[in-house]
A and B are shown apart, each in its own frame.
Chain A
Amino acid sequence: MKSISNHFSLVIALLSILFTIQIFIIIDRAVDSYKENLATNYSVVIVSQKQLSKDTILAINPLINTYTELKPDSVIKRLNANMGAKNIELLKLSLPKFYKLKMKHYPTPNEIKKLTKDLLKNRAITKVEDFATNHNITYKLLLLLKNIISIFAGTIFVVTTLLILKELRIWQFKHSERMNIMGLFGSPIWLSSAVLFRLAIVDAIISSVLIFMIFSYLSNSVLIQEYLNNIGINIIIFDNIYDFAILFTTAISLSILLAIMIVIGHKEEV
């Protein structure tokens, strides 16, 4: 019982920090995946007086990923009946060219402004339809979502940090007594604090394993998979190697930092 209560408080604090971090990673992944969705659906249409080459278009702005020329054929077909082939050729030549541009990623409003400006610098391009208002609303929603999550995660992080600092004071008290007594029998500081570091490392391992189990369970849960599919997001909830490495490193560094702080804060009593 004694040893369990020794570990309990730090493990809980570490768990909540790791949990927050992983949730943040998941949300970030979801937002990114949603952004990708948006990017594939979003396009800018330009009207040009001349045929534009691939190199010319791609050189205008690095954001532009691909483009397709919109063929006026469908419009012309309807006129086809009443017109001679010669006239149609003439008409085709005089009609402006339409291009649909796809972006490399989902642009910010500023990037769109810059893109429009860059496009209009080209003499041949007479009109740019960037669907800015629609885009703006979606973008702002996305931003709002991300900000809310960040604030939420930040708050939890601050609260748990305060929790750990309070815990630290208790720890400092508890461990400094033992470290003092060991010191009185000539123990060097590395030996007096060895228990502390072992405890810190063990707690980090315990909390990492627990968090691994929690998220492995969650990522295999049918309910959660279904829910994510319903909102059209397809992401990895928990990467057994990459995410675990991040969480484990965080846990170890945090708890060792804590132990170092205790050792540094340790004062010998007379």
Chain B
Amino acid sequence: MDKVIIANNLSLSYTDNENIINKVNFSINSGGFVFITGASGSGKSTLLRSLYGALKPQQGSLIVGGVELNGVSTSKRNLLRKHIGIVFQDYKLIKEWTVEKNIMLPLIINGYEKAVSLTQVDSLLKHVRLKHQAGKYPPELSGGEQQRVAMARALSHNPILILADEPTGNLDEYSSQLIWNLLEGANNQLNTTVIVVTHHIPENMNIDYKHFHIEFGTIHEVN
């Protein structure tokens, strides 16, 4: 089976003296669905940052989508990012852009035609139940609504890999279920690899998934 992510002896840190992630080895299959759990401050977001090339490996090798991220060039990294959909823990929506344009961002970057983009955004807005908020600006939305916009943005360009950092952190039961359905759908129908950081793995998952737990700088699979 193809590997989307291969980490070899990987260490991650923000300062030279302390590793948040310490010499870990793991791999993730193409088309896989992975949950990552761990205590607050254990390094879950840090790991995701390294996967989209924002945090360079301190040591070891990290290959994502066939690109070695240790020492990657900016242009190569940008090319990789075009095929990744990210839901950030703090959403990172563009405040001065409407909800609609925010969701369109990856489509703009990937050079989609406007008409195609609009149809895609329209369908996503329906899926996350935000059709009526399309023309609003992110600061005018509730936390949960912003989170759903971030989710829609991550899905808009049909990425090969989705990285979602606590995508249901701010949502009620009903909205959380919307998000899980969307992620499952992408994984199921488009064979998108999905990596989700969460504190609660939903009980009614309809697909096979893996579960990695981060603790004391190491990653191990939970069975």
Which residues of A line the B interface, CB within 8 A?
2, 6, 174, 177-178, 180-188, 191, 268, 270
Interface 9-mer from B27-35, B88-96, B114-122, B197-205 = B88-96
Q: List 10 A-B contacts (CB under 8 A).
A: A2-B137, A177-B94, A181-B93, A182-B105, A185-B81, A185-B82, A185-B109, A186-B77, A186-B78, A191-B108
On whether the beta carbons of A185 and B75 are closer than 8 Å, the reply is no
On whether the beta carbons of A187 and B92 are closer than 8 Å, the reply is no
CB contact under 8 A between A178 and B94, given known A186-B109, A270-B49, A270-B54: yes
A184 to B53, CA, bound (A): 9
On whether the beta carbons of A184 and B96 are closer than 8 Å, the reply is no
A187 to B80, CA, bound (A): 11
Top 3 A-B residue pairs of the complex, sorted by shortest distance between their CB atoms: A186-B81, A186-B82, A186-B78
A87 to B92, CA, bound (A): 108
CB contact under 8 A between A187 and B109, given known A2-B96, A270-B14: yes
On whether the beta carbons of A185 and B55 are closer than 8 Å, the reply is no
- The residue on A at minimum CB distance from B111 is A191
- The residue on A at minimum CB distance from B55 is A270
Q: Which residues of B contact A177 (CB under 8 A)?
A: 94-95
Other-chain residue from B14, B80, B94, B97 in contact with A186 (beta carbon distance below 8 A): B80
Other-chain residue from A183, A188, A268 in contact with B75 (beta carbon distance below 8 A): A188
Q: Which residues of A contact B49 (CB under 8 A)?
A: 270
From 99 to 154 in chain B, residues with beta carbon under 8 angstroms from any chain A beta carbon are: 105-106, 108-110, 137
Q: Which residues of B contact A178 (CB under 8 A)?
A: 94, 96-97
Q: Which residues of B contact A2 (CB under 8 A)?
A: 96, 137
Q: Which residues of B contact A187 (CB under 8 A)?
A: 78, 109
Extra 5 A-B pairs, beta carbons < 8 Å, given A182-B105, A186-B78: A177-B94, A183-B78, A185-B81, A191-B109, A270-B14
Kindly name the residue among B49, B78, B83 whose own CB sees the greatest number of chain A CB atoms within 10 A: B78
- The residue on A at minimum CB distance from B52 is A184
Which residues of B line the A interface, CB within 8 A?
14, 49, 52, 54-55, 75, 77-84, 86, 88, 92-97, 105-106, 108-110, 137
Min CB distance A184 to B, Å, is: 6
On whether the beta carbons of A185 and B54 are closer than 8 Å, the reply is no
Other-chain residue from B14, B54, B97, B108 in contact with A184 (beta carbon distance below 8 A): B54
- The residue on B at minimum CB distance from A181 is B92
Other-chain residue from A6, A180, A185, A268 in contact with B86 (beta carbon distance below 8 A): A185
- The residue on A at minimum CB distance from B95 is A177
Min CB distance A170 to B, Å, is: 13
- The residue on A at minimum CB distance from B109 is A187
On whether the beta carbons of A185 and B106 are closer than 8 Å, the reply is yes
A191 to B108, CA, bound (A): 9
Q: Which residues of A contact B55 (CB under 8 A)?
A: 270
A177 to B82, CA, bound (A): 18
- The residue on B at minimum CB distance from A191 is B109
CB contact under 8 A between A184 and B81, given known A270-B14, A270-B49, A270-B54: yes
Q: Which residues of A contact B77 (CB under 8 A)?
A: 186
On whether the beta carbons of B79 and A185 are closer than 8 Å, the reply is no
On whether the beta carbons of A184 and B86 are closer than 8 Å, the reply is yes
Q: Which residues of A contact B75 (CB under 8 A)?
A: 188
Q: Which residues of A contact B81 (CB under 8 A)?
A: 183-186
Other-chain residue from A6, A174, A180, A182 in contact with B109 (beta carbon distance below 8 A): A182
Q: Which residues of A contact B79 (CB under 8 A)?
A: 186
A191 to B75, CA, bound (A): 13
Min CB distance B47 to A, Å, is: 13
A2 to B97, CA, bound (A): 10
Min CB distance A29 to B, Å, is: 43
Q: Which residues of A contact B84 (CB under 8 A)?
A: 186
A184 to B84, CA, bound (A): 9
Q: Which residues of A contact B96 (CB under 8 A)?
A: 2, 6, 174, 178
- The residue on A at minimum CB distance from B88 is A184
Q: Which residues of B contact A183 (CB under 8 A)?
A: 78, 81
Min CB distance B120 to A, Å, is: 15
Q: Which residues of B contact A6 (CB under 8 A)?
A: 96
CB contact under 8 A between A181 and B52, given known A187-B109, A191-B109, A270-B14: no
Q: Which residues of A contact B95 (CB under 8 A)?
A: 177
- The residue on A at minimum CB distance from B93 is A181
Q: Which residues of A contact B137 (CB under 8 A)?
A: 2
- The residue on B at minimum CB distance from A3 is B96
- The residue on B at minimum CB distance from A174 is B96
A174 to B77, CA, bound (A): 24
A268 to B53, CA, bound (A): 12
